[in-house]
Amino acid sequence: MHAALKASGVSFEVIQAMEINPTVLSTYMHNFPDTFAAPRNIESITAEEINELNINVIVMSPPCQPFCRTGRKLDIQDARSSSLAHLLSILPDVNFQYLLVENVKGFEESDARDALIDAVTKCNMHWQEFLLTPVTVGVPNSRLRYYLLAKRVDLKWCFEPSKTIMTGVPMWGSLEMPYGPIVTDHKEIWREYRTQAEKSGNINTELGPDEWCVGDILENGDMDTYAIPTKLISKYGIAMDIVSYDSVKTNCFTKGYGNFIKGTGSYIAQVKVDDDTVLGNPDGDIFDKLVTMKLRYFTPREVARLMCYTDDFTFPPKLSMKQKYRALGNSINVYVVAILLSILLSD
């Protein structure tokens, strides 16, 4: 959220950040050492404490496990919803003007969502809900997420709101976008990646100058560390989402990436082989062809780039590879949230 605020171009100061996961907290403090980050359990905070901070914007990403498709979907009955439930119970007594909430697809159908809408209504706010994926704004990564923007009723929207969930970015492509500088900066970052890709040959020559592919964000150098063992290819290869340098979409990366194979993200074929010769040829040996593709994991830096973190975002030196993947899997797409923050804070 802090990285998205920086990317939004909005003038801001983070008064306080709160996080209970030690890995994420250490990563946050490593990247934003001048911000006060509290190792805080949200369930212990009071409205009076928040009001003493004199804030006007709240951004949050509550635990998603109670609502995600791979979980039990216990909703508000899940103990991991208790922090959100507590915060919603005190929100009407908090003095603030703007709110952004992020969660997984599925949250929009939950009782927790109804409690959220009830809370923002009691706060005398109007709101807009979204279901957005980075692919919508040109990023080659699928990460469909629920977002809610809310502001006080006396503050106007910079777009025409809808009573239904929006699945596109308001005014995307319009010259009147309030977030034009964000789009420009993002394109400059990816053009820099494109320049690197051109030097290494990892480029899709069929794409236009403002279209991005996997090859644009790949690191150079020895990638043997990230090679997928042949025993995993033999066991799970047919279920893997395999992409090449010129792919314009990757699967959502989860906290299980690097630890589990199926359904946790995409894998790179360092040697391109046509899809129909790999998965659609009953006469061929699929395993041999998969091995020929020299499959590897995306590196943490590459996953971070797909989530639109700039390269000045780094991890503390002592974090393991597993911890890095877990932290990224629980993260947001910086570019999408930056756009939404700009929309929220514009009138």
Tell me the catalytic residues. 64
Cβ-contact 119, 150 below 8 angstroms: no
Work out the angle at residue 51's Cα, subtended by the Cα atoms of residues 47 and 52, and round it to the nearest 5 degrees. Answer: 120
- Segment (H or E) for 301: helix 300-306
Matching residue, tokens 């082989």: 273
Tell me if 297 sits within 8 A of 228, measured CB to CB: yes
d(CA 167, CA 136): 9
Query: What residues have CB less than 8 Å from 120, skipping those under 6 apart?
Result: 91, 99, 127, 148, 150
Percentages of the chain per state (helix, strand, coil), in multiples of 5: 40, 15, 45
> If we measure between CA atoms, which residue out of 300, 139, 303, 297 comes closest to residue 213?
139
Three-class SS state of 102: strand
Written as one letter, the residue type at 290 is L
SS3 of 262, please?
A: coil
Which pair of structure tokens corresponds to residue 218? 């790949």
Collect all residues with Cβ–Cβ distance below 8 Å to 219 and sequence separation of at least 6: 299, 301, 302
| Residue 186, CA distances (Å) to 113, 140, 143, 205 in order | 31, 13, 18, 20
Residue whose C-alpha is closest to residue 1's, from 344, 318, 254: 344
Q: Which sign does the torsion angle of CA 14, 96, 60, 179 carry?
A: negative
- State both tokens at 195: 């320049």
CB 251 within 8 A of CB 142: yes
